[in-house]
C-alpha cells in the first residue's frame, strides 16, 4: 500500500508541470457549463441568413435566445464585437477517438477481426481522452461521425460531440451500420492479381453480401413474429438495417462500384448513405436520381486516375451538389480531422461555393444523420454547439476565439499548443557562440 501511495503521488507530481502549461494566460483548464451571453456579434445562422450586431444567450446547454439587446441576469457576458458566431462544424466521417497512434496496434480500435462484425460499436470503442480531440476542437469542429472499417460489414458508426468523460456523454444521437461495398478494382498499384481473379473476388464478395442481407431479413422477420432464436448479435444488428431501424452507411468510391451499389440497394427498403464517393462526379446524375445522400472526402486528395485533372478531388463535391445530390464533407481522418474547414474551403473554391460548402459541414450532415432539429445551425432551441471567430474559419489566418459544445465553454488548449508555448521561449535557453 505504501509503495502504491508513493507511485500515486509521484504521478501527481509529474502532472503538475503539464497542468501549469495548460493554464494559458489565466484561461480555465476544464470545460465549464453555465449561462453565457455572447454579445454584439455577426451571427452566421446557416439556415436563416446573417444577423448583424446580434447576441446569443446560452442556457442549460441550449441556444435560449437570439436577438438584439438581450439582458440575462447571472449570465457570463462575452463581448463578441467584431467577431462571428457560426454553428460548430460536423465532420461526416472520421476515425477520431478510435486510434491514437496508428503505428501502435494497441491504440488502434477501428477494425475487428473478421469480415462480418456489424455489432461492433464505434461508440463503445471511443477514447474520450484522445489527444486528437482537443486538437480538433480548436479548429471549430465540434461533432464527428466516427466510423469503423475493415471487413464487409465492419461495425456500427456513431455521431459524437467532442466533449465528455464517457462515450455515452459524447453521443450525439445517430448510429449507422457500415458496409464496405465490394470493389471491382485493384486494391492499389501493388495489386498483381489478374483481371479474372479480381472479377471472381468481386463476384464472391457480392454473393456473400447478398446472402448475409437475406439472412438478416429472415432474422428480422422471425424476431418480429416472436420466434426464439439463438444468440446471434451480428445478425441482430444487420437486421436493423434491413428494417430501416438503422441506416446503412455504404463506403463506395469508383464510378462502376457506385453504379453497382445503386443497383444493389434497389428494392431493399434500406435507408442508405454513401460515404467516400471519390468518383461521384462521374455518375452524379445517377446518384441524384436515386436520391441517395453523400458524405464525400477527403477533398485534399490526389485524383483517383492518372488521366484525371489535378483538381478532380477538389471539384468532386461541387459537381455532385450541382447535379442535385445532397452532399456533406468528411476528412476520413484519424489525427487530422482539424483540417475539415480547409477541406470545405477547397470545395468552395473549386465549384461548390462558400454558402454550400458551409452547409456541407453544418446543416447538411445534420440533415443526413437525422439530427437537424438539434445541430447544424444557429437557431433558438438547438444544442449550443457554437464557434466564435475573428473571421471566416475557412481562412487559415482566422483565429477561433471561443468554442461551445453542449453549452460547455471549452478551453482552447491542447497538447500541440502547450508544446509550442513550452519551446517558444525556453528557459534555460540555448546559448549561441
Taking the chain (433 residues) in consecutive chunks of 10 residues, what is each chunk's mean pLDDT? Answer: 43 38 52 94 97 96 94 91 97 94 83 91 94 94 96 96 96 98 79 79 90 95 90 95 97 96 94 97 98 96 93 97 98 90 97 97 98 98 98 96 97 85 78 67
- What span, in angstroms and rounded, lies between the C-alpha atoms of 26 and 6? 31
Closest CA to 134 of 410, 431, 424: 410
In this prediction, residue 107 carries a pLDDT of 83
Local structure of residue 425 (DSSP, 8 states): S
Enumerate the H helices of 266-362 as residue ranges: 284-290, 312-322, 340-347, 354-360
Cβ atoms of 364 and 372 within 8 Å: the answer is no
pLDDT digits (tens, 9 = 90+) for 178-223: 999 998 777 767 777 777 877 888 889 899 999 999 999 999 999 9
Coil, strand or helix: which one is 156?
strand
- Could you tell me which of 298, 329, 328 has the C-alpha nearest to residue 313? 298
The answer to whether the Cα torsion of 257, 110, 270, 215 is positive or negative is positive
Residue 97 grid coordinates: 477517438
In this predicted structure, what is the pLDDT of residue 6? 44
Q: In what order do the strands lie in the sheet with 248-252?
A: 89-94, 141-146, 155-161, 171-180, 248-252, 272-276, 294-296, 327-329
Summarised one tens digit per residue, pLDDT across range 33-76 is 999 999 999 999 999 999 999 999 999 999 999 999 898 889 99
CA distances from 87 to 57, 94, 337, 362, 405 (A): 14, 19, 17, 7, 10
Is 0.85 surpassed by the pTM of this model?
yes
Give the CA count within 13 Å in the CB-facing half-sphere of 416: 14
Nearest-angstrom CA–CA distance, 335 and 136: 8
Cα 268 to Cα 347: distance, rounded to the nearest angstrom: 33
- pLDDT for 11 equals 38
CA distance 312 to 284: 13
The full length of the chain comes to: 433
| CA dihedral sign, ordered 29, 62, 273, 234 | positive
Q: What is the pLDDT of residue 5?
A: 47
pLDDT of residue 122: 96
Q: Which of 159, 164, 127 is nearest to 143 (CA)?
A: 159
| Alpha carbons within 13 A on the beta-carbon side of 165 | 3
Cα separation, 142 vs 86, whole angstroms: 11
Cα R_g (the chain), whole angstroms: 24
pLDDT of residue 192: 74
Amino acid at each position: 500500500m505504501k509503495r502504491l501511495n508513493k507511485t500515486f503521488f509521484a504521478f501527481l507530481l509529474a502532472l503538475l508541470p503539464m497542468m501549469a502549461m495548460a493554464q494559458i494566460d489565466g484561461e480555465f483548464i476544464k470545460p465549464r457549463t453555465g449561462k453565457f451571453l455572447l454579445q454584439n456579434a455577426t451571427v452566421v445562422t446557416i439556415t436563416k441568413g446573417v444577423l448583424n450586431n446580434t447576441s446569443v444567450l446560452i442556457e442549460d446547454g441550449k441556444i435560449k435566445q437570439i436577438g438584439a439587446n438581450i439582458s440575462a441576469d447571472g449570465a457570463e457576458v462575452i463581448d463578441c464585437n467584431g467577431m462571428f458566431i457560426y454553428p460548430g462544424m460536423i465532420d461526416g466521417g472520421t476515425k477520431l477517438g478510435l486510434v491514437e497512434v496508428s503505428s501502435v496496434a494497441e491504440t488502434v480500435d477501428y477494425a475487428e477481426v473478421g469480415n462480418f462484425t456489424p455489432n461492433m460499436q464505434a461508440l463503445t470503442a471511443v477514447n474520450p481522452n484522445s489527444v486528437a480531440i482537443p486538437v480538433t476542437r480548436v479548429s471549430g469542429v465540434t461533432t464527428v461521425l466516427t466510423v469503423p472499417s475493415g471487413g464487409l460489414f465492419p461495425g456500427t458508426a456513431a455521431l459524437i460531440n467532442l466533449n465528455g468523460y464517457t462515450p455515452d456523454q459524447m453521443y450525439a444521437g445517430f448510429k449507422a451500420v457500415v458496409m464496405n461495398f465490394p470493389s471491382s478494382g485493384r486494391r492499389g498499384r501493388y495489386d498483381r492479381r489478374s483481371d479474372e481473379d479480381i472479377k471472381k473476388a468481386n463476384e464472391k464478395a457480392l454473393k456473400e453480401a447478398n446472402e448475409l442481407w437475406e439472412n438478416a431479413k429472415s432474422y428480422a422477420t422471425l424476431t418480429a413474429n416472436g420466434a426464439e432464436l439463438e444468440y446471434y448479435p451480428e445478425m441482430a444488428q444487420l437486421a436493423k438495417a434491413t428494417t430501416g431501424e438503422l441506416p446503412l452507411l455504404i463506403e463506395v468510391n469508383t464510378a462502376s462500384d457506385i453504379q453497382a451499389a445503386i443497383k444493389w440497394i434497389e428494392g431493399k427498403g434500406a435507408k442508405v448513405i454513401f460515404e467516400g464517393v471519390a468518383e461521384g462526379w462521374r455518375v452524379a446524375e445517377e446518384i441524384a436520381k436515386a436520391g441517395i445522400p453523400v458524405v464525400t472526402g477527403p477533398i485534399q486528395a490526389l485524383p483517383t486516375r492518372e488521366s484525371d485533372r489535378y483538381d478532380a478531388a477538389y471539384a468532386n463535391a461541387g459537381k455532385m451538389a450541382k447535379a442535385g445530390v445532397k452532399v456533406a464533407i468528411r476528412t476520413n481522418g484519424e489525427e487530422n480531422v482539424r483540417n475539415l474547414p480547409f477541406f470545405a474551403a477547397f470545395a468552395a473554391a473549386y465549384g461548390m461555393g462558400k454558402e454550400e460548402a458551409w452547409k456541407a459541414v453544418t446543416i447538411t450532415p445534420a440533415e443526413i444523420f437525422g439530427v437537424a432539429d438539434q445541430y447544424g445551425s444557429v437557431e433558438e432551441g438547438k444544442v449550443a454547439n457554437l464557434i466564435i471567430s475573428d473571421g471566416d474559419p475557412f481562412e487559415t489566418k482566422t483565429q477561433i476565439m471561443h468554442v461551445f459544445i453542449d453549452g460547455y465553454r471549452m478551453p482552447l488548449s491542447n497538447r500541440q499548443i502547450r508544446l509550442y508555448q513550452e519551446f517558444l521561449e525556453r528557459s534555460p535557453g540555448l546559448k549561441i557562440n
